[in-house]
Each structure stands twice: as structure tokens, then as C-alpha cells.
């Protein structure tokens, strides 16, 4: 996806990241970061089944949602201003 031609919607980006970490970044056109977050989330989910503290997963997931939203909002502001 070309970020210059795509109209990014911040709430949609955050929603995709709520579904699974990395999807919001991929929606934003940041395929590398999205894949990276996707793999980290997958590893943390698997690790949480091995009694790894789930708090780390929750913190990571919330950061992922925040980052996807901020990226899309900044992109939207650049196009408007």
C-alpha cells in the first residue's frame, strides 16, 4: 500500500490492532513493523500458555494499539495540513 494515496482512519487502525497486534501497522502501510509486532505477539501468546506473565502481553498489546492509532492520526494530520 502506498501511504500517500491511502486515506488512513486512526480509529480503524487501532481497531485492527485490537484484533491482533501488527494488523493496524499493516493497514497503515508499515508492513515491516506490522510483521515484527505480529511475531512478537505470537511469541508472547505462546509463552503465556507456558505460564509466562500475561501482563507483558497486555502491555505490549496496548502499546501496539496506541502506536497504530498515533501513526494513522499523524498521517491524517499531514494530509490535512
Domain ranges of the chain: 10-80
* Cβ-contact 80, 22 below 8 angstroms: no
Q: How far apart are CA 14 and CA 62, in angstroms?
A: 10
pLDDT in tens, the chain (81 residues): 454 567 899 999 999 999 999 999 999 999 999 999 999 999 888 877 766 577 788 889 999 999 999 999 999 888 887
Model pLDDT, residue 51: 60
Model pLDDT, residue 58: 86
41-to-7, 10, 33, 56, 64 alpha-carbon distances in Å: 27, 21, 12, 10, 10
72-to-5, 38, 40, 42, 50 alpha-carbon distances in Å: 13, 18, 21, 23, 34
* Cβ-contact 63, 25 below 8 angstroms: no
Model pLDDT, residue 57: 80
Amino acid at each position: 500500500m502506498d501511504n500517500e494515496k491511502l486515506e488512513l482512519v486512526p480509529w480503524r487502525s487501532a481497531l485492527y490492532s485490537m484484533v491482533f497486534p501488527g494488523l493496524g501497522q499493516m493497514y497503515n502501510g508499515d508492513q515491516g513493523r506490522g510483521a515484527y509486532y505480529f511475531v512478537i505477539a505470537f511469541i508472547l501468546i505462546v509463552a503465556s500458555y507456558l505460564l509466562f506473565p500475561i501482563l507483558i502481553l497486555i502491555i505490549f498489546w496496548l502499546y501496539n494499539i496506541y502506536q497504530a492509532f498515533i501513526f494513522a492520526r499523524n498521517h491524517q494530520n499531514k494530509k490535512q495540513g
